Structure 1
């Protein structure tokens, strides 16, 4: 075959292939686009935080919730991880909220704060509840180079409950209490005085605080009804809470690696279950009692 004939054949092949690629029906393209963006009929007819109604009849309120729903529906990786982690973390958080008389919806505040992991923020907030060092100490947590109870889920949840109860007593509203966790009690109260408003949904706040409760509402909607929003995660794919036994110590542990080996585990597993231990030792000069979690055999 002559060279020019080969060139013509190749050119014809490329041209036909191009036509096939671009010949996908528009409705198929739109269908694929819809699946990537949002499920049909995703917006709720009503919503509430801690049984306090969200006024969806107000245009900007409806739009702000819509924004957070769309954002989190399409943040596939982080939303899937939050759903998986909740199966492990919520069973720890829920009873502590209940014991303190704090509404169950506040567990979704932890989701938007940290994604239910011991996150570290650029400004120094740490743990699932993202406490700053001084605030943690004010709420009864030990924070130093050896021990950092912001990483202790039970104690940090108890401290968060203390905050929520104080904020509820101040504002008379769980919604404002949640907003103040982001904007500060002083910051929210200042804007309430300036604007002469007493309802979160009627206040103009900073961008982050204005979005804060709506992010909670969105994650609540999605995590309570994941399949409705396209997140079909099988039960066996969820992360599970590992059963543990408790070991109480009231003296210094000079080497946590040796201690872990004596308990039948290794240093890595010890730190996974006790992230509040921040050093390779546990210095305890005051004989304070600490409880260390050790996973049961078969981990």
Structure 2
């Protein structure tokens, strides 16, 4: 059975990759694949580069099911007069540390929330010069691992990426998709789904992403199988996944929400007849520098994906 690799997770979190600027994390993943694929159970075909933007598709054997894991993160873009503009939906906390780089070198700065007399708030960065316009700034990594949980920025979705890379080790038949732009409205899932459907007749997808701790989904309750968010997956496919989890005695909890989206909802927005389901460990302190996930939930997530990629392919 696959196991959690904290060292690899920490390396993934160190690599910056806000939505629209996924080149470095793409290259890290491709480099990892090249260095490790010889030890994998099956040969892999890698699709990337021209026509794929910064996304990556891995094909093993004769796939019927694809795992989608988005490689981008939330963050901020520098604008004019020390202003910051959000990428996706990051939490904003006065004094939070941000990092990046521009034409003059590496940057470590702090976010400042300014409120005017009318109560309107603006976001600024504190630095001894103006940072180049359009520079991405992301949360400064602060990796904390205990016996019970891991706490760090960007568990969403570096944990999903880690899960996908772990699946690759033992996968005989299946596809793994590293997608982009998920945190800022999508943009790659449509053409990636079309590629899988047209070239390999793949029309089932599992969304390897991280969900939220809520009143109905708790730390330590196991991996969350999402029955719905703003999108509604097909019930027959969902029931099949729940049945497989039960048959294999994997700890899971059912999520039912009215909002939120993922690569799954973006896939549903296409004209492709994909069945899909979001399956991920729950985290607290969402979209902040202190996201927290329990290790037992990560192990349950990896165990369920390992079983599903055997039984659905």
Q: TM-score, normalised by structure 2?
A: 0.22
Q: TM-score, normalised by structure 1?
A: 0.23
Structure number with larger C-alpha Rg: 1
**Where is the strand percentage greater, Structure 1 or Structure 2?**
2
